[in-house]
Structure 1
Amino acid sequence: MAESSHRGRGNIRRLLDSFEMTGPQGKHVVLVFEPAQMSLRDMRLVFRRGGFDEDFVRGTIIELLEALDFLHTHGEVVHTDVHPGNLLLGVYDNDLLKPFEEREFSSPVPRKLVSPTRLIYLSRLMRPKEGPMLLSDFGEARIGPGPHGGDIMPLEYRAPETLHYVGWSYPVDIWSVGLTAWDLLESKKLFTARDEDGDLYDAAHLAQLIAALGPPPPEFLARNPERKADFWDEQGKWLGLAPIPCDRTIEALETRLEDNTGFLRFIRRALTWIPEERATAKEFLQDPWLTGKLTCS
């Protein structure tokens, strides 16, 4: 992978070095990564609370898909944790960081000693500059196409196959691409995974999926009959453990675009009950919403 000329390789945050440090709790492995600016999640919270412009989101998603195509096809890696908090704005030139470094020497940020062995620092805000999108944080990544098992992904980002306790593979990353595009553009989350009291609840999450995507196909439910019995009857009818929020459709929650046809079509290609029906990262790079080649349907 290190020698690959694939375009997506440049959108993976590089590991430069590693070493061990000994502290009060024993030895710790320290990983040294290439420098980067803030995450897109933090960038939005600080500068664009209402959401980014559509063109910015398009460019970001293209770079993310390039990164995932590289991981999936050249490395056989499932990232499993794709979301705006793990998308960092990189730097084209490390000289961009020199003023930041000089200010830290001349006027250090406030710091606090919270224990004899632990010192915490206040973050210094740096206004973002142009740079590549870098996919980071491979702590939950899986090697090989799978199928894999176990809980993965942030709760509200969990794909249907992970909620249904069946094997998963590369398509979980594609599901996350759809939700990442949504969260970068829209002001409200598509799925919260919470009930009316604000508590995390699988039934509430599944009810939100039904509202947005329609009921799951019988062949999806058949992949895990025991899990199906927790939420659906023998005929596949929802048992009603959580009410279906009929007002939380994809069309109703999209509020920012005058012409949202291409965007909504993109979202629906990424968010499908059946994982095999999702486009691959390579296929998505030709999506009309990303290429600007929208056609009437």
Structure 2
Amino acid sequence: MPFIKKNPKKVGLAKIAPKPISKPKEESDSSSDGYENSDGEYVEKPKYYRLGGYHPVVIGEDYNGYIIQKKLGFGHFSTVWLVEHKENKVQGALKIVKSAKTYTETALDEIKVMKKINECDPERKENVIHILEDFKHNGPNGQHICMVMELGGSNLLDLIKYYDYKGIPINDCKEIAKQILKALDFIHTKCGIIHTDLKPENVLLSFTIPKNKKEPIPKIIETKLADFGNANWINKRFTDDIQTLEYRSPEVILGLHWGCPVDIWSHGCMIFEMLTGDYLFKPKQGKTFTLEEDHLAQFIELLGYFNKKYLNIAPQTPKYFTRNYELKHIPNNELHLWKTKDVLIEKYKFSPEIAEPIASLIEGMLIYDEDKRFTAKMCLEHPWFK
């Protein structure tokens, strides 16, 4: 049943290493590309170092003038390495994509998106990661698309973890939220790009989070929106299978048109998570109801019932709702309505004076109708940021 009225969650490994949104047919035989080794590190499975898969990398190797320094991590599509150019000494993050055709096509689309960002921000002033270079590399497992990105620091999830999932200080949260909104306004209005996968892992900070929690966090926080591998153009869609579950918007679940407002919805969820350390929505499948029904029930509990006109035009409404506009397997009398402001005050002990403007902003970012939902610019003009 809906999360916010139940036991609070603390983020686990699923949050740190989420499953990909969609998986190409080449590798549908596995639910995960990684595992925890004997040292407690989450690493990629050796079986994916094969034709069509990852490229084997050795520290000190030269890739188009960039020398491999150390491994930064991996994802479903690629491994990522710290590199330094042997001539100009510029450091970057080298992303080496799996060589299968599906990944190559996705990478080429990502490069087009990144080049559009560079074109719209030649002086690199915006709060987004930029691409420095791209090239192809032939290896034993095929030809790999390579992208050298600006180097970021820790991600926002690392900061949430630093504070033990109890919430980032409000002033820091406000500054981070504002910078993300500026980045969204830039990609939406100047670039014609929808990120579609906004979450803490995809927001990079300008510093490394201390492992020792006695060490203070730097006072100046600069954020950069990263990972445009799932991005879509406003006027061209690559897929409708978008957004990580906890940040997924109702229009995506119900099969309606979606656009830039999906990023605003995700960011509204993320602001709550920054402030509290908890997901705003954490749907789970039950014995009598589906994952999507629980997700919709959680929306209703926090934001109220869906407008009948809205449900009448949603293609997936018959799948989840009765003719009386009730969820098929979660009746209205089992829902517990709880306003955002009250959640912040009663569960997280915010004062009413602090909770009210936060709730006002978040609820504006979580309006069901995408045409009425706040834009990034509208959010930046909200009293909470004044």
Q: Normalising by structure 1, what TM-score? A: 0.78
Q: Which moved more, 1:237-246 or 1:262-271?
A: 237-246
Q: CA deviation digits over 1:68-90, x for unaligned, max 9?
A: 11101111100101111111002
Q: Determine helix, strand or coil for the equivalent of 1:169.
A: coil
Say whether 1:237 aligns with 2:291: no
Say whether 1:280 aligns with 2:375: yes
Higher relative contact order (CA 8 A, sep 6+): 1
**What is the alpha-carbon distance in structure 1 between the residues aligned to residue 385 and residue 130 of structure 2?**
26
1:116 is matched with which residue? none
1:36 is aligned, of 137, 152, 175, to 152
C-alpha spacing 1:54/1:144, structure 2 compared with 1 (3 Å): same
1:133 is matched with which residue? 223
Note the C-alpha offset of 1:168: 0.4
Q: How does 1:220-231 map to 2 (within 5 A)?
A: 220-225=310-315, 227-231=316-320
Q: Which runs of 4+ in 1 moved over 3 A?
A: 1-9, 124-131, 145-149, 241-245
Letter in 2 for 1:184: M
Say whether 1:186 aligns with 2:276: yes
Q: Which moved more, 1:200-209 or 1:154-163?
A: 200-209
Note the C-alpha offset of 1:145: 4.4
Letter in 2 for 1:190: L
2:55 is matched with which residue? none
Say whether 1:157 aligns with 2:251: no
C-alpha spacing 1:237/1:6, structure 2 compared with 1 (3 Å): farther
Q: How does 1:59-208 map to 2 (within 5 A)?
A: 59-90=175-206, 129=218, 130-145=220-235, 150-195=240-285, 201-208=291-298
Q: Determine helix, strand or coil for the equivalent of 1:233.
A: coil
Contact residue 165 and residue 276 of structure 2 kept, 8 A = no
1:266 is matched with which residue? 361
Q: Normalising by structure 2, what TM-score? A: 0.61
Q: Which moved more, 1:28-37 or 1:240-249?
A: 240-249
What is the count of residue pairs matched by the alignment? 259
Contact residue 203 and residue 224 of structure 2 kept, 8 A = yes
Note the C-alpha offset of 1:257: 2.0
**What is the alpha-carbon distance in structure 1 between the residues aligned to residue 303 and residue 124 of structure 2?**
30
Name the % identity. Answer: 27
1:107 is matched with which residue? none
**What is the alpha-carbon distance in structure 2 between the residues aligned to residue 134 and residue 149 of structure 1?**
25
Q: Which moved more, 1:199-208 or 1:59-68?
A: 199-208
Gaps of 5+ in 2: 1-116
Say whether 1:17 aligns with 2:133: yes
2:12 is matched with which residue? none
Note the C-alpha offset of 1:234: 1.9
Contact residue 16 and residue 32 of structure 1 kept, 8 A = yes
**What is the alpha-carbon distance in structure 1 between the residues aligned to residue 275 and residue 123 of structure 2?**
25
1:58 is matched with which residue? 174
C-alpha spacing 1:72/1:20, structure 2 compared with 1 (3 Å): same
Q: Determine helix, strand or coil for the equivalent of 1:276.
A: coil
C-alpha spacing 1:217/1:77, structure 2 compared with 1 (3 Å): same
Contact residue 169 and residue 275 of structure 2 kept, 8 A = yes
Q: Determine helix, strand or coil for the equivalent of 1:22.
A: strand
Say whether 1:246 aligns with 2:336: yes
C-alpha spacing 1:27/1:245, structure 2 compared with 1 (3 Å): farther
**What is the alpha-carbon distance in structure 1 between the residues aligned to residue 149 and residue 293 of structure 2?**
39
**What is the alpha-carbon distance in structure 2 between the residues aligned to residue 182 and residue 9 of structure 1?**
27
Letter in 2 for 1:239: K
C-alpha spacing 1:241/1:136, structure 2 compared with 1 (3 Å): same
C-alpha spacing 1:4/1:142, structure 2 compared with 1 (3 Å): closer
Q: CA deviation digits over 1:208-251, x for unaligned, max 9?
A: 111111111112111225x2112222232332347754166534
Letter in 2 for 1:269: G
Q: CA deviation digits over 1:235-286, x for unaligned, max 9?
A: 3233234775416653453214213000000111001111111111111110
